[in-house]
Structure formats: structure tokens, C-alpha cells
Chains A and B, each alone.
Chain A
Amino acid sequence: MSEEKRAREETSRDTADHCIACTCCIANCPVTEATKEFAGPKLVGPAHSRMTFAEGDVEKTLDYCSNCKNCEITCPSGVAVATMNMLQRGEYYRHHKHSQRDDMLAHGERMGKLVRALPLGATFANLGMKIGQALGMFSAVGITNKRDMPAYAPQSFMERFLHIKQKPSDKKVVFFPGCYINQNDPEVGVAFVEVMQKNGYEVLVDEAFVCCGSPMVVTGYLDEAHDHAHTNVERILDWKKKGIPVVACCTSCSLMLKAEYHELFGEKEMHEAAENVYDAFEFLEGLMEKGELLEAFKPVDGKYAYHSPCHLRAQGIGLPALEILNKIPGYQIENLAAGCCGLSGNYGFKADKYEVSMKVGEKLFKRVEELAPDKVVCDCGTCRMQIAHGTKKPVCHPIQILAKAYK
């Protein structure tokens, strides 16, 4: 078998053999830097993978891996370190019971559906969460009460979308909103539709899409995430057949759809589906390269700072949002380049990980403080939450800036 063919057929677990123990992953692991409790990516992933012959065991500190993927971004040998950790975590929970906390943190989508089914559900749910926090109900199950749970928007994106009047077009994209934009931050989705309309695209949605599965993977609900992957991949392939790309504004969702499905579950269809999925700014940058992006921007005032999410950097597509925003006349935005924010999806919501999460974010918070921007711009919803929590600065998605520049 040729080297190339083998590389294609290699599973994430197989990549452990490429490790030369150079330790770059440890040097760039934000969790290892924040706490001595974590044995570090090299040991937990590739090193232990050689030792499983000795006994059935699990790394005691596996729980500390936040799946931020900086190990994989850094690894000069192409080892799927974080993916191996998530596979181990999934394997662990095949034989161990999940906590109520993990169940709650992994299944935001289920909770969201419940909330939407009730009249004034969002209002009461938000109130309930405040009361719950105050009464220590979250800490009782192991969720930190030191930060707010994400509040539900009065109307979900999917509800809002029904009322958006679009100019029909032959050029179409399917929007994958993801749980956070749909339930908590629908403005981002609305801005996305506006931007695409300006560029002559009609935005479709697909009711059959389900949560990408990222919160499940990180809490060890691997089989459930696998089911979600099947559902979404089938839909993506269907859109692919029609020649309509699927676009996401959440970089963790897009990483999941584009790369993690295939890395975790290794099915050929997942790889094929991935070719039809784009991060929103990756898609827009593609348009720009073809000269098809509407570049008639109105100036946008203010001083902005940009945080690039780890899951965007893991996609290896550069920082397309920054490229495009820099085209806006007079727009001042600086790349914070301060590493991981520390929240990592639901990681920083866990009571026992809150301190680690805030410690990881320290560098970023400090950089924000130094730059003193009016607003922090970031493609990832959970990063935005962490930045708002750690710096008290207003935050937004870059698509919202672009929508503003088109007004």
C-alpha cells in the first residue's frame, strides 16, 4: 500500500505512531499551563495508546482535556491527540454512568426544545436559571454558580427565520445555525442572512439538522454524537447532491461537521459531506477570491479587538473574518492572538473546571484590558461568553460587523 493511501485510511488512533514525543503539544496545551493536575496531551493521548496492552485502564486526568485542539494544531507530526482523548472519554462512558451535570451540559438542544414548547418558556427558563443559580441548585449538581448559564433569546433563530423576507435567488446556501445561535444568540443568524442576501444568496434552513454533537463528544456521549453525525451527514450529502453548500457561523459546529465527524468515526461519507461544509467567513472569503464579494462597505466606527477561536484555528483556514473585516474602510481591529479563552464549550461550566477555565483565559483577558477596545469580535459563541464574563466587554460575531457595514 502506498504511503499516501495509507495516510488516507489511517484512523485517528493510528496517528499515535507518528508521535516522536517532541512535547510541542504539552508546551502549547493551555490546560497543562493552567494546572499541574493534567498529565498533558502527549501522555494521555499518544503515549498511553502504546500501553493499553498492559491492563484495562483509563488515564485518571483525561477529564482535564477540554478538546480545545491546540495539541492537534501544534503537532508537527499530525497526531490526532485531542481526538484520541475524546475517543477514550467516549469509551470510558460506555462502561461508566454519566453524572446529571454532564447530561445537562451535553443536551442543551433537548432543553432548548422543551423551553420553546412552553408559552413564555424562555422568560421563565431564564428566571429559573437565575433563581437556580442563587439557590445553589447548579452547584449541587456540579455546575459552577460563578458564571451565568447562557440565557435563552425571546425567540429562537428558527422562529425568527420564518418572518424574514428574502429575495429569492438561484444561488443558495443552507444555514446550519447550531444550538447556541438558534437558542441564545439568533442575532448572529439574522445578520448572516442579511450578509448573504446582500451578496445575492438566498439562505435556506433545514429542520432536519440536529445538534452537531460537539457538547456530547466532550462529555463522553460518543455514541449519541455518532447518531447525530449520521443524521447531519445524510442531510449534508443530500444538499451536496443539489449543489447547495452548508454554512455555519459557529466554528465549533463547523469544525465538527468538517473534520471531527471523520476524525472520530472514520466513515467515508463523513469525509465526503465535509467537502460541502463551510465556516461562514471561509465561504465569504471564497467569494472574495472569485471577485464575487460585495465590497461596498460603509465605514464602521469604533475600536475592535478580534479573538480567533481555537476551533477556527484547528480548521487550518487562516483567519478569514479578520481578512474581510480589514476591508471595511476606517475599521480598526486588532488580533488579540492570546490563545485559548478557556471556556471550551461546556468545560468552563463545570464547577471543578471553572478555575482552570478562568486561568486559561487570563492571558486573553489581560490583552483585552491592555487594548481597551469598545467591543470584542469573535466567531465562536462560547468564546464570546467567556470574554464577556472575564472582561465585561461587549462582544459580537464578525458577521454582525459585516452586516452593519452593508447597511
Chain B
Amino acid sequence: MEKATVVVVGGGATGVGILRDLAMRGADVLLIEKGDLVNGASSRYHGLLHSGGRYAVKDQEAAKECIEENTILRKIGHSCVEPIGGMFVRLKSDPEAYEADWVEGCRTSGIEATPLTLEEAFRMEPRLSKNVVSAYAVPDAAIDGFRMSCQNVLSAAKYGGRTKTYTELVKIYQKNGEVTGIRVRNTLTGEEYDIECSILVNAAGGWCEKVAQLAGLNVPVQPDKGTLIAFNQRLANHVVNRLHKSSDGDIFVPHGSITILGTTSMSIDDPEDTSTHPDEVEKLLSIGAETFEDLRSYRILRVFAGSRPLYKQPGAEGRGASRGFVILDHAEEGLAGMMTIVGGKFTTYRLMAERITDMICEKLSIHEKCRTAEEPLVEEVSTEAKARAKKYFPSFGLELAATRLGPEAFDRVTKVLAENPEKRELICECENITRAEFEEVAGREECHIINDIRRRTRLGMGTCQGNFCAIRAAGAFYETGKLEAKDSLAQLKGFLQGRWKGIEPILMGRNVRETEMTRALYELSFNIDGGKLE
């Protein structure tokens, strides 16, 4: 039977953080995730590495945690953090009194908020509304949730930390009030098997309640859905926040080649519910257009939603509910070895992991100190390696590939590109992904479907939303030998369906034209729905 001392349930930011921390301290740890990494709230969010400014008035403790973790992640996460800086802007219509409280809040929380003249603010952000009356620079940053999690997993693997994606927890075994193991199901094959363990960490985010139920425990979690809009380009050079009491649609995060605007806040029943509605888009746009007046003329790529796992405290809901995190040791309820960590923010994932890992290590009598704040997530690709590779990579594609791949995979891809010029073909033109990189990633054990490759490369996430890369990706994936020809059509359709999900609520203007083109390509030319000839 498979064994691990600690099993972590949930491949979101918290789970991968715990995996890495435990592995680095020498624990025998396995992470299981029912889908791919970060398919819940950890990728369905802004991509904002908070400076803490957003919490400076309401929650000083959270603000302090944010700025500390922000500083740490900038240091350890060179390959997933874009240290672009942020700005808080107050509009004419926003209450003036809040500004003074905010400035004071930043000061006491240790967040450097530098006042900007309006001239400076407009120079930094030319598209900003002229209704801005005051502006401050803060150390916000953008962070790529996909890369961050993959890099945590990679780092953990170096220390023996194991990860199984598409592996769902179906049963928790207990004996004499102690966890003894779990039963899991491979969600791709349906195969079920047991894993022996003595500690089970429930880090399942929005699914924490369900996981706890498997052990007969009650962890009330309120999924709180936030909807976000991804724009086709970088509308801003910095993160732009409204300087007012935190509300919907008041943060813009330029993130890679796109900008994300969000978010809404709505209590929902099922964490799986990532549906979005045109009304939410309209709401976000009308609020967003107060900060960037031309907002409606910029092209929207897609809409997406994720749910924050808020730990339910009586009487608090939505934005009022705590964004802080809780660690529950279920030994107190009579099940030793089972722990739950829930709530919190992406920005503080490492801190959350450190806290619970400290508790686990105490149980395991491990005395190693946490080193996740000092050791970089991954090694960086050297300047020399990049210089050597430059001529083989597509223009504007070198740095991105280097941060996505890390030194070893980068060297392998460079070698392939150098030796086989035909592998320089772009599978995804919008996000600059070569066939060589695609094959490198597709070949990894954890990649089972095209969407797994997408999350690790940004395939299909740019302007054409899969129109031109879907067919190439399905073909190239088949050619790696990991996919049977008969399954490639289903993969292609699944991938396109995922793209369509984000486009449907914004089916207006140019997006209608693009969607008609998708239909013409895939439904008419390729007939992927397979009509019958009478």
C-alpha cells in the first residue's frame, strides 16, 4: 500500500505551500488534488500580490501580514512575481475622510504609501480618469497563480514532496480516534486505492466542508463567488486600486499580457459554481469605467469566476466575513491527525503554510525551522543560458519561457529549438509558445489534458482564445504519444468549451465576430460536432 506520513488535500495555494514547507523540513508528504493544481480560487482571482493597502483601514493585522508576505514573495518568487508596483487613486466621488484613515492605516501597518502628484499619476497611468483627485504609490505586485503553485510543487519535489493531481479523496480511515489512511480515486481512470497516513491536512479551500464531512466533522465554509474580467492587453502599467472602502470592481491588475478587473462578491452554495453572467460583467464595467473612462472600448477576452472559501462565522457574510485564516486541529473533536486550514488570502499563503506546518512538525517531533521565506521557489535561468538561447526563441518569448520553465527545462527546450528549427513553430501565436516548449510541458507526468498544458504555458489564453492553437495543440499533444487519436477530438472540444465558457457572457461587439469565426472554423470547416451525411 502507498504510504505517506502526511497527506495534504487540495492543490491550491495553501496546499502547495504546506507541501513545500513540510518537504523542506524533511517530512514525508504527499499532496492530492482532485483536478489540476490551482483549479479553484488560487487561479480564479486577480493575480494580485497585495501590499496590504486594501486592508489598511479595516483589518490592520491582515494588512501587516500582506506587506510582510509581499516582501518575502518578491524575494523568493522572481519567476512568478511581476514587481510592477501599485497605485491607490481616490476619485472625486469617493469620500475624502477615508483617505486620511487610509494613510494612517498604511503608516501603522508598515506599508509604504507615497503620495503622487496628479501629474505623476497621469504620467504613470495615462488612461486614468481625470476625476482622480489624489493618488499614492504602494508596493503592490502581480503574481501568477499557475506558476507560483507549479514552482512550489517543483521545489517540494526536490525535497521528496510528492504530488498527485486528478486524485480525489473519497474516504478517510480512522481507528481509535486517529486517522490511519485514506481512499482516493483517480478521476481520469476511476481507479480507487488506499494510502496509509497518520496526518491528514484538509486544505481544500471551498471544498473544506466536504472533506471534513468525510471524517464526520463540521467545518462550515461559505463559498463567496468573485467574478473577474480579463482584458486583451495591459491597460495599466501598475496595479490600480480605488482609494475607498473596499468594494466591487475596484482593482485592476496588469498581469502578463492582459489586465484583470475585479471583483464581485456573492455567497453561493457550491464551490464548483464558476458561472458568470452578463449582469456581473455590466456591473464590473460600469464601476471600472469610473477609474478608466475608456474601459468599454477595450477588448474583453473573457470572464471568469472563483470562490473565496470564507470560514463561516455567525452574522458575517460576503465582504464583512473574515478574510483571515483559521487552523482547526480536529484532535480537539476526537479525531487525532486531522487538521483543517481554511480562509485567508493568496498573498499570505506561505505564512498560512508556515503556521500549520509548525503545528504538524511539533506532532511529528521535527525540529527543523521553516525556510520557505528565505529559499527561492525555483532557481532562475542564468543570463548566460538566456544569451545562448536568444536566437532560437521567438521575439519577446525568451524571458517568459525562462520564468515558466526554470533552468533545467529551459536548457532542454533550448537544445530542441537549436537542433530542430521546425520545433520553433508557434503552437500558440498570441502567447508565443513554441512547439518545443509545448512538447516539453505536454510530456510531464502531470499533464493529462490540453488545459493542463494551458495552465503551465498560457496556451490559448491570449487574443484568439484558442481559435488557432486548439487544433494545433490537439495534434501536437497526440504526437507526443500521450493521447490516442480517438481521444484527441474530445480533448479539442473540451478545450474549446472551456474557452467558450468565458466568452459567452461577453458576447457583444468584436467578440461576436471572433466567436462566429470560431464556429466557422471548428463547426463548419472541421465539423467537430460530426454531422451525418444523409
Contact = CB atoms under 8 A, between A and B. Distances in A.
A17 B396 contact: no
A141 interface: no
B463 A60 contact: no
B464 A54 contact: no
A335 interface: no
A17 B298 contact: yes
A22 interface: yes
Contacts of B514: 20-22
B517 interface: yes
Contacts of B432: 51
B220 interface: no
Contact of A21 (B297, B396, B430): B430
B398 A55 contact: yes
A87 to B, nearest CB: 15
B395 A53 contact: no
B299 A51 contact: no
Nearest to A50: B257
* Majority DSSP secondary structure for residues of B touching A: loop
Contact of A54 (B399, B429, B430): B399
Contacts of B294: 1, 6
Contact of B462 (A39, A50, A54, A76): A50
B482 interface: no
A16 interface: yes
Nearest to A58: B395
The interface residues of chain A, by DSSP majority, are classed as loop
Given A22-B517, A50-B430, A16 B398 contact: no
B464 A17 contact: no
B463 A21 contact: yes
Interface string A12-40: 00001111111100000000000000010
Interface size class of B (residues with CB under 8 A): 20 to 34
B233 A17 contact: yes
Interface string B449-471: 00000000000001110011000
B400 interface: yes
Contacts of B299: 17-18
Contacts of B399: 54-55
A18 B517 contact: no
A380 B462 CA distance: 40
Interface stretch (A41-49, A165-173, A336-344): A41-49
Counting contact residues on chain A (CB < 8 A from B), the size range is 20 to 34
Given A47-B429, A48-B396, A21 B464 contact: yes
B234 interface: yes
Between A18, A43, A54, the greatest number of chain B beta carbons within 10 A of the residue's beta carbon is seen for: A54
B344 to A, nearest CB: 29
B429 A43 contact: yes
A59 interface: yes
Contacts of B415: none
B112 interface: no
A96 to B, nearest CB: 15
Nearest to A60: B395
Given A21-B514, A39-B395, 19 more contacts: A6-B297, A18-B299, A20-B510, A20-B514, A21-B429, A22-B514, A46-B463, A47-B429, A47-B462, A50-B234, A50-B257, A50-B463, A51-B400, A51-B431, A54-B399, A54-B400, A59-B395, A60-B395, A77-B513
24 contacts: A1-B293, A6-B294, A17-B299, A20-B463, A20-B464, A20-B513, A20-B514, A22-B513, A22-B514, A39-B394, A42-B429, A47-B429, A47-B430, A47-B463, A48-B395, A51-B431, A53-B254, A53-B256, A54-B257, A57-B395, A57-B396, A58-B395, A59-B395, A60-B395
Interface of A: 1, 3, 6, 16-23, 39, 42-43, 46-55, 57-60, 76-77
